[in-house]
Amino acid sequence: MDAERGRVFSGARPTGRQHLGNYLGAIRNYVALQDEYDCIYCIVDLHALTTMATTENLGSNTNEMALDFLAAGLRPEENIIFVQSHVPQVTELHTILSMVTPMGKLTDLPTFKEKVRQNPDNVNYGLVGYPVLMTADITLYKANLVPVGIDQAPHIEFAREIVRSFNYRYSTNVLVEPQMINTEVPKVLGIDGSEKMSKSLNNHIEIAGTPEETRARVMQMVTDPQRVRRSDPGNPGVCNVFSMHKIFSSTEEVAMVDVECRKAGIGCVDCKKLFTNNLNAHLAPLRERRASLEAKPGYVQEVLDSGAKRALSIAASTIAEVKEAVGLP
Ligand code: SF4
């Protein structure tokens, strides 16, 4: 990796086949960042354990997700794509950083409180320490840049505090304080038109689905609830299909839908067909690449193994410096 370029780190939980929300919120940005920075993208399987009821699909979810990342255009020769648990030094650094992290701050974090609210029966030790593991992820690879949406900013600020605390406690500058790259993360609603797109709510559209599967999902999309009959004028401002048009359709088509919907000049079925065609056309190259990568047996595993090897060499050197700074014999 080039020392002159900034080093980006980002982690994503292994959630299997990716949907439009993942694509617009993260993957597209991951692909773009490669042109400017050295990037380390990590599939954070250890983080996933904090909330997972079962690990049955962990392996296949990791594989499917990596395949979608690669199909979308991540370049594993120039960057590092790997699985968190393949580099065990991260757990070592996590333990060391735990000793400079005040417990009260962890339990005060709004994200922790939210997780407790969502899942009161599974408030485990790992969940409390989640931000410390995240700090270990970033600092182990000496990443100085982390792409985050505005709602994630407090996490990075907290990671910076942990780094300062460690460096101060051990009079060192071994760990690098990460900076945020503010990223616009659009809130992508599911086909129900009300909740954020998510697999668990089954309101998602897979990026690697077939054109026919995509069409079927789009046809289920909730539109302007006031537009009951074809002859009713609609309001694109409250319609999720229109929000998607703004991302995937041409300026002319967006303008046309905006005008025609308001005077019932276009029906929702035709409007959805237009969106489906544009979405399928946009995703066609990704789907083709995915099919060709899938046809190479062992390819994804090779990418992840090679990524882990390169990540491991950075991690081994950082952990040696950390231990020396701490005074561990
Ligand atoms: S015509 Fe299109 S924008 Fe208007 S309500 Fe129907 S789906 Fe939404």
The pTM (predicted TM-score) of the whole model is 0.92
Predicted local distance difference test score (pLDDT) of residue 2: 60
Predicted local distance difference test score (pLDDT) of residue 55: 87
Q: Given pLDDT bands bounded at 50, 70 and 90, which one contains residue 328? A: very high
Helix (H), strand (E) at residue 10 = strand 7-12
Give the mean model confidence (pLDDT) for residues 31-38. 96
At 208-258, the pLDDT tens digits run 999 999 999 999 999 999 999 999 999 999 999 999 999 999 999 999 999
* For ligand 1, atom 7: residue with the closest CA: 268
Distance 93 CA to ligand 1 centre (A): 52
From 242, 245, 266, mutation site for ligand 1 pocket: most ligand atoms within 8 A of C-beta = 242
Please state whether 212 falls in left (phi above 0), alpha (psi between -120 and 50) or beta. Answer: alpha
At 250-308, the pLDDT tens digits run 999 999 999 999 999 999 999 999 999 999 999 999 999 999 999 999 999 999 999 99
Distance 236 CA to ligand 1 centre (A): 6
- CB within 8 A of 270, min separation 6: which ones? none
* For ligand 1, atom 1: residue with the closest CA: 268
Distance 208 CA to ligand 1 centre (A): 25
Q: Are 275 and 245 in contact (CB under 8 A)?
A: yes
For residue 28, pLDDT over 60 is answered with yes
Q: Given pLDDT bands bounded at 50, 70 and 90, which one contains residue 136? A: very high
For the chain, the average pLDDT equals: 95
For residue 3, pLDDT over 60 is answered with no
For residue 1, pLDDT over 70 is answered with no
Q: Are 24 and 64 in contact (CB under 8 A)?
A: no
Distance 120 CA to ligand 1 centre (A): 40
**Which residues have CB under 6 Å of ligand 1?**
223-224, 227, 234, 236, 239, 241-242, 257, 261, 266, 268, 271-272
| Percent over 90 (pLDDT), the chain | 85
Q: Quick one: which atom of ligand 1 is closest to the CA of 239?
A: 8
